[in-house]
Amino acid sequence: MVVSAPWLVALAAVVLVVAGGGGVEFVYDGFAGAGLALDGMANVTPEGLLLLTNDTDMNKGHAFHPEPVRFRGAAAATEGGRTGVASSFSTTFVFAIVSEFIDLSTSGFAFLVAPSRDLSTAMPQQYLGMFNGSSNGDPRNQIFAVELDTVRNPEFADINNNHIGVDVNSLNSSAAAAAGYYDDATGELQNLSLISRKPMQVWVDYDAAAAEVTVAMAPVRWPRPKRPLLSTKVNLSTVISDTAYVGFSSASSIVLCKHYVLSWSFRLGGGAAPALDYSKLPKLPRIGPKPRSEALTVALPIATTAVVLAAVAVGFILLRRRLRYAELREDWEVEFGPHRFAFKDLYNATGGFKDKKLLGAGGFGRVYKGVLPVSRTEVAVKRVSHESRQGMKEFIAEVVSIGRIRHRNLVQLLGYCRRKGELLLVYDYMQNGSLDKYLYGCDEKPVLDWAQRIYIIKGVASGLLYMHEDWEQVVIHRDIKASNVLLDGDMNGRLGDFGLARLYDHGADPQTTHVVGTMGYLAPEMVRSGKATTLSDVFAFGAFLLEVTCGRRPIEEEEEEEGVAGADDDDRFVLVDWVLGHWRKGAISDAVDAKLGGEYDAAEADLVLRLGLTCLHPSPAARPTMRQVMQYLDGSAQLPELPPTYVTFNMLAAMDTHQGVFGAWSVRRSAAMSIGTMSDICLSGGR
C-alpha cells in the first residue's frame, strides 16, 4: 500500500487516495506543485503543464509518479487473493503534441511502467528514451509502455507515422493501431492526428484476469469511446516487476516538438481510473494568431451593421475608397521610395485582384497578372500575407537591393507595396509561366525537348552563380525548384522568388506553418539548423537537375503502378533514391524522362544526372559550388566520380540511429512523408 504523505495531499494538484480494494489511486489535474520525479528535459511549466521535451538536441525527458506502485503482493493480492499475479490497473491522461511545424514531427512519447526511474542508458530519438539499440526486445527491461508515435520507423516495424502501440520490452509493438477512435453513434473509425496540437485523452486498462490490455483515445472532453481502439492479450505478470514506477517517457529530435501532458490519473486494483476534471486542465500556450474572442465574433457583425446603418451611410463611398487603397508606410521606407508602388495602382492593374487574373498560387501567396497604368507594362503581382513586422525592414532592404540586380536568368523584381498583414511584390511578367507546368504536362503545355531543358538548366545555373558569387553581395535563394523557374518569351529560364523564404525564417514568425523551402529540396543540415547557405541552395539545385531530367517530382505520393526498383519502401517515391538505384546498376540513363522518347544527348543527360546526385550529397562539404557546377555543365572541368559514401548511402540512412548527417537525412525523409500534402508540390500539381 502506498501511504500518501499528508503534505502531498495538501498540495494543489495531486490527490492521492487509498482505494477501497487496497489498491492505489491518484489524480493530477494539472501538475503545478505535484512533486513528480522529473529528469532530463522534463519540466512543469508555471501553468501546470508537464512538458516532456523542450529542445531539438536529441535529449530525453522522463516524469514519474514519485512513489513506486506495488503491482504484486499485499495490495495486489486482494484481487482474488492470488500472489505472483500482477494486479489490474487503469490509467488515463490528456496530452498534446505541439510541433514547431504543424505537419512535422520527429518523435513521440509513451506512458510507461518501469522497474526503475533510472533510464540513463536509454537513447533519445526513435528509442523514445526507454530503450537503446541493444536492449530493445530484451525481457530483462521489465518495461510495459503505450507509445504515441509520430514517426514510422521501419526498424521497429511501425505501421505508420501516427499510431498508438502496446510495447512490451520492445519498440516493436505487440499491437498497434492508427490513432483514432470508434464513434459511439455510428461505430465508424474516426482518424485523429497526434501532432494536430489539439489536446486528446488516452485510456489504458489492464485486466489481470483476462490478461488483456485495452487502449482507447478521443478528443479531450469527449466521453470514453465504448469500443476501444486497440485490445491485445498480454500477461503483464510475466513482464513488470513487483514494484514499479509509472510515468511518461519522451525524446526529442531535430524538429522542435513539445510533448505536453495536461492531466493524468491512475488506479491500481480493478475499476476505472478516476475521472479527470476538465475544468482544471492547464492551458496550452497559444500558437498562431490570437483567436477572435467569442464575444467579439457575436458582437462584431451587430456593431458593424449598426455603424454602417447609422454613421457611415453618408461617407460610404469615400470610406470604401480609402479602405480599399489603404497602405502601411513607415518612416524608414522613405529611402526605398522609388521602389514603392501605390496599392491603388496595383489594384487597378490587376482589375481588383480578380480570380480571372490569377496566375498561380504557391506556398507564399497568390500571383496575379496586371498591366500597370500609364506605362502599360505587364507585371506579375505576388500577394504574400505576413503578420509579423519583425525583420520587415531588413527584408524590404533586401528586396530593394535584389531589385537592383539585372541578369537574364533572374526574374526582375520591380518593387513592392505594403499593407496591413500583407506584402505585395511586383515582378516582370513572364509570358510562358513556370517550368513545372511543362515538365508535368499540366494545362496542355507541350513537353520540352532535351535542348530546351539543357538550355534552361544552364540558364538557371548561371543566374544562381551570379547571385552566389558575382554580385556585390551574396544572395541565397532558399527555395529553388521547378515551380520557381519561370520562362520568358524566348523560353529562357529565369529564377524567381528570390529570398522570399527569408520572411518565414524561424524565429521571425514562429506560428507560420511553412517549412522554409520545400520538402524534397531541403538540405538535411538546413532542416536541422534552419540556416540557409549557398550549399543548401546547391542541394536544391541538385534536386532541380533531377527533376528536369527525369520529369518527376523529388517526392511523389505513390498512386499508380510504381514498384520500380529504388522506389521507397513505403508508399512514396523518392527521386534521388530512384536515380541512385539506376546509377548503382550502371544504367543511370534509364532515369531520363520517358516523355523525351529517347531523343536526347546521352552524354549530357548522364552528366546532368550525376551532377544532380553530387549536388544532393547529404554532407554540404561534399557538394560543389555553383562556380564548379557551371564548369561541369559547360565542359571546362571534368565532373569527378560520385563519392564512395554514396554507395552505402541507403543503408546508412536506414539505420538512422545516430545524430550524424545520415540520421538527420533519414529523419528528414520520414518527416517529408507527413508534410507532403502541404508543400508546393501538391499545390502546383493539383492545378
**CB-wise, 211 or 655, nearer to ligand NAG?**
211
Q: Which is nearer to ligand NAG, 81 or 597 (CB)?
A: 81
Under the binding rule (CB under 6 A), the answer on residue 121 touching ligand NAG is: yes
Query: Which is nearer to ligand NAG, 211 or 442 (by Cβ)?
Result: 211
Distance CA 435, CA 437 (A): 5
- Could you give the 3-state DSSP secondary structure of residue 532? coil
**132 is written with which cell numbers?**
537503446
Nearer to ligand NAG among residue 181 and residue 573 (C-beta): 181
Three cell numbers written together for 396? 524590404
Minimum CB distance to ligand NAG, residue 256 (Å) = 9
CB of 662 to ligand NAG, least distance (A): 19
Query: Among residues 4, 78, 172, 241, which is the contact residue for ligand NAG, using CB under 6 A?
Result: 172
Q: Which stretch binds ligand NAG (CB under 6 A): 234-242, 279-287, 288-296, 665-673?
A: 234-242
Contact status: 421 vs ligand NAG (CB under 6 A): no
Nearest Cα to Cα of residue 466 among 627, 335, 679: 627
Task: State which of residues 41, 215, 615, 629 lies at the interface with ligand NAG (CB under 6 A).
Answer: 41
x/- string (CB under 6 A) for ligand NAG, residues 47-86?
A: -------xx----------------------------xx-
The reply to whether 654 sits near ligand NAG by the rule CB under 6 A is no
- Minimal distance in Å, beta carbon 528 to ligand NAG? 16
Q: Which residue, chain included where needed, has cell 456593431?
A: 303
Q: Which residues are annotated as a binding site for ATP?
A: 382
Residues 5, 25: Cα–Cα separation, whole Å: 14
- Selected range binding ligand NAG among 69-77, 149-157, 280-288, 407-415, rule: CB under 6 A: 149-157
Q: Which stretch binds ligand NAG (CB under 6 A): 127-135, 373-381, 467-475, 508-516?
A: 127-135
Per-residue three-class SS string for 131-198: CCCCCCCCHHHCCEEEEEECCCCHHHCCCCCCEEEEEECCCCCCEEEECEEECCCCCCEEECCCCCCC
Using alpha carbons only, what angle is made at residue 321 by residues 315 and 324, rounded to the nearest 5 degrees?
A: 130
Kind and range of the H or E run holding 206: strand 200-207
Q: Using CA atoms, how far apart are residues 381 and 400, in angstroms rounded to an integer?
A: 15
Per-residue binding letters, 152-171, with ligand NAG (x by CB under 6 A): ---xxx--x---------x-
CB-nearest residue to ligand NAG? 137
Instruction: Kindly state the smallest distance separating residue 213's Cβ from ligand NAG, in Å.
Output: 12
Contact set for ligand NAG, span 456-485 (CB under 6 A): none
Minimum Å distance from CB 217 to ligand NAG?
14
Q: How far is the CB of 526 from ligand NAG (least distance, A)?
A: 20
In this chain, which of 18, 37, 211, 405 binds ligand NAG, going by CB under 6 A? 211
Calculate the alpha carbon distances from 360 to 439, 528, 557 in Å.
16, 30, 22
- Partners of 94 in beta bridges: 201, 263
Say whether 650 sits in a helix, a strand or coil: helix
Helices vs. strands in the chain: H and E counts, helices first: 16, 28
Check residue 43 for interaction with ligand NAG (CB under 6 A). Answer: yes
Dihedral pair phi/psi, residue 190, rounded to 5°:
-105, 130
Helix (H) or strand (E) run with residue 449 in it: none
The reply to whether 167 belongs to the active site is no
Binding residues with ligand NAG: total (CB under 6 A): 24
* Positions of E strands within 29-153: 37-40, 43-44, 50-51, 60-64, 69-70, 89-99, 109-114, 144-149
Choices 135-143, 443-451, 646-654, 677-685 (CB under 6 A): range interacting with ligand NAG = 135-143
Binding status of residue 279 toward ligand NAG by CB under 6 A: no
Which is closer to ligand NAG, CB of 118 or CB of 470? 118
The C-alpha cell at 58 is: 536529441
Q: What are the residues whose beta carbons fall under 8 Å from the beta carbon of 291, sequence distance 6 or more?
A: none
Binds ligand NAG by CB under 6 A, chosen from 132, 174, 193, 243:
132
Contact predicate 231/214, CB 8 Å: yes
CB closer to ligand NAG out of 41 and 216: 41
Nearer of residues 212 and 505 to ligand NAG, judged by Cβ:
212
Closest approach of ligand NAG to the CB of residue 394, in Å: 25
Across the chain, which distance is largest between two alpha carbons, in Å? 94
CA triplet 615, 621, 622: central angle to 5 degrees?
Answer: 45
Q: Which of 235, 243, 513, 650 binds ligand NAG (CB under 6 A)?
A: 235
Q: 663-667: which pairs have CB atoms within 8 A and are 24 or more residues apart?
A: 663/125, 664/254, 664/524, 664/525, 664/527, 664/528, 665/524, 665/618, 667/106, 667/125, 667/151, 667/253, 667/254
**Shortest gap between Cβ of 118 and ligand NAG (angstroms)?**
9
> What are the angstrom distances between the C-alpha of 90 and each of 117, 260, 479?
20, 20, 50
Provide the minimum distance between the beta carbon of 156 and ligand NAG in the complex, in angstroms, as a whole number.
5
Q: Which of 257, 543, 502 is nearest to 401 (CA)?
A: 502
Q: How far apart, in Å, are the Cα atoms of 416 and each of 25, 335, 361, 403, 406?
A: 63, 13, 18, 10, 17
List 11, 17, 18, 135, residue binding ligand NAG (CB under 6 A): 135
Tell me the closest approach of the beta carbon of residue 367 to ligand NAG, in angstroms.
32
Which of residues 4 and 193 has its CB atom nearest to ligand NAG in the complex? 193
Give the residue, chosen from 237, 388, 631, 659, that forms a contact with ligand NAG under the rule CB under 6 A. 237
Cβ proximity to ligand NAG, 156 vs 466, nearer residue: 156
* Amino acid symbol at 346: L
Which residues participate in the annotated binding site?
Answer: 382
> Which one of the listed residues 29, 479, 537, 680 is annotated catalytic?
479
Task: Determine which residue in the list 10, 81, 191, 291 makes contact with ligand NAG, applying CB under 6 A.
Answer: 191
Q: Which residue among 92, 99, 136, 452 contacts ligand NAG (CB under 6 A)?
A: 136
Residues that bind ligand NAG (CB under 6 A): 41, 43, 54-55, 84-85, 121, 132, 134-137, 155-157, 160, 170, 172, 178, 191, 211, 235, 237-238
Residues marked as catalytic: 479
